Amino acid sequence: MDSPWSDDGQRGSGPNPGRGLLCRVTPQPAASTGGVVTTNQHQTDQHHTNHRTTDYRRTDYRKTDEAVRRLTDAQYRVTQRDGTEPAFHNEYWDHHEPGIYVDVVSGQPLFTSIDKYDSGTGWPSFTRPIDSDAVTTTTDHTLWMRRTEVRSAGADSHLGHVFDDGPRDAGGQRYCMNSAALRFIGVDDLEAQEYGAYRSLFDDRTTDSTNTEE
């Protein structure tokens, strides 16, 4: 059986193993919540009200040699060699627990479960990052096409790509990520792992839900 990876799996071997294969599957239409927006630019500007609860930029999220050495082969392929993991055979594509997703290399907060949705592609998909400054983007011309690559701002880890076919009422963006580039931290573990400032995101959501039901 052929490997889903496009290289030989060795660290540092071959240029850009698997780069650009991410999210080739056409996403399924996302359920609408009734919002009507006329342009993608307006959607993006309107939706990018950040989840910022503290100035995370005060924390040093730069990559270290020790952090890279701790990566598994799959994590290394994706984050350091711009690789792509197989669809539907990765840790978070069908993951629904409440919490945040951080850079597996540096621990930088990147996405929340609040913005995660089922895109039908087999990769974890989000409508926006946890903060607009948490990620950087660059043009990717591999595989004879032009796409937008997404990288973590702190450690410069390859995360995946962003497309403009996401839920229109949530900004129109689909951040299609590799599970291997992420580490999930559940709501109940946020304080213990020093991400307690993000707990309020989920507390507020629980309160809103309770008030709606009353």
Catalytic, out of 176, 180, 185, 201 = 176
SS3 160: strand
Burial (0-12, 13-18, 19+ Cβ within 10 Å), 105: buried
Beta bridge partners of 101: 111, 184
Using CA atoms, how far residue 156 sits from 91, 148, 167, 182, in Å, is 21, 15, 27, 13
User: To which H or E segment does residue 74 belong?
Assistant: helix 73-81
Q: Could you identify the residue written with the tokens 């997404």?
A: 150
| DSSP conformation letters of 75-135 | HHHHHHH---PPTTSSTTTT---SEEEEETTT--EEEEGGGEE--SSSS-EESS-SSTTSE
Residues in the chain: 214
DSSP 44: H
Both tokens assigned to 82: 């711009």
The pair of three-digit structure tokens given for residue 189, joined into one six-digit string: 């573990």
Annotated catalytic, 176?
yes
The catalytic residues are 176
